[in-house]
Amino acid sequence: MRFQSILIAGCGNMGGAMLQGWLAGGVNPARFAVLDPALPAAPDGVRLYRDPPSGPVDVLLLGVKPQLFDAVAPGLVALAGPQTLVLSIMAGVELGSLKARFPDARGVVRIMPNLAAALGKSPLALAALGLDAELQQQVSALLAPLGMPEWLPEAQFDLVTALAGSGPAFVYRFVDALAAGAAALGMEPGQAQRLALATVEGAAMLAACSADSPGELARKVASPGGTTEAGLKALDEGGVLGRLVEQTLRAARDRGAEMAAATRGEGAQQS
């Protein structure tokens, strides 16, 4: 890793998961500092600041709540000098807004991770302004211990936020629905929950390492006239499942666009 000083401003659930992933991946904790007035303690070897330190850093990772960005940004400007890379995990805050608030920064990058970063298993959607190919490679290397970096145009960021950022919550709801369905049919609820979790975990791991698409894997599981085929017919009937998922992603995507408009001052203040 070429970045020697990495300051995480706002170390809540997501920022904390990223820090945990880096440390679990063997990155030296002395490279990290956290700026958070409410965090009880930082991991061993990581410096904790209650107020902004003096001087620029190599990487400034913004993990504050998007609605607090305008309030906290002026106090962070001195940390972003000409050699500083500003990374943001704030949903709805666009590259132009980041650059306007940190005009001296070397470049700005939007990141959309999820909590699996703590395990090194997160998708990491990336969009950047002011980075050449070499610096993009350095950012990818920095984030590699957290999962799978994927660069894309910023125009797709609201959609990828819905898919990769919010997606785990949608999967958790489906796991709950599997367990609740089994419980409704007579299984003990705790046992149903354990079996549902194990089923989804194994299916996801197999899909991740298989050369077949998830659709093809579903076909292979389903024997003609068997139990799986009967269940899939219920899921597929009338295209209801596909429409529901599309509506879910659209709602999350559109909310991201609303948040971006509010940050630009084009919409009502977000709640």
| Helix, strand, coil percent values for the chain (each to nearest 5) | 55, 15, 30
The C-alpha atoms of residue 165 and residue 125 are separated, in whole angstroms, by 9
At 265, the pLDDT band (50, 70, 90 cuts) reads low
- For residue 18, what are the CA distances in angstroms to 10, 29, 32, 71, 205? 12, 12, 11, 24, 21
| Residue 72, pLDDT above cutoff 80 | yes
pLDDT of residue 267: 37
Q: With CA atoms as reference, report the closest residue to 98 among 126, 78, 59, 70.
A: 70
Domains of the chain: 6-157 (3.40.50.720), 167-256 (1.10.3730.10)
Residue of higher predicted confidence among 264 and 149: 149
Average pLDDT over residues 157-166: 90
Predicted confidence at residue 92, as pLDDT, reads 85
What is the distance between the alpha carbons of residues 156 and 163, in angstroms, rounded to a whole number?
11
Q: Give the pLDDT score at 268.
A: 36
| pLDDT interval class at 260 (50, 70, 90) | confident
Using alpha carbons only, what angle is made at residue 43 by residues 15 and 165, rounded to the nearest 5 degrees?
20
pLDDT at 270: 36
Tens-digit pLDDT profile for residues 167-206: 999 999 999 999 999 999 999 999 999 999 999 999 999 9
Residue 162 Cα distances to 34, 205, 233, 257, angstroms? 27, 22, 27, 11
What was the pLDDT predicted at 94? Answer: 92
Type of residue found at 150: E
pLDDT (tens digit, 9 = 90+) per residue, 236-257? 999 999 999 999 999 999 998 8
Three-state DSSP state, 264:
coil
pTM score: 0.81
Q: Quick one: pLDDT band at residue 212, thresholds 50, 70, 90?
A: very high
Q: What is the pLDDT of residue 264?
A: 72
Tokens 């706002």, residue located:
10
Of 43, 163, 59, the C-alpha closest to 114 is 163
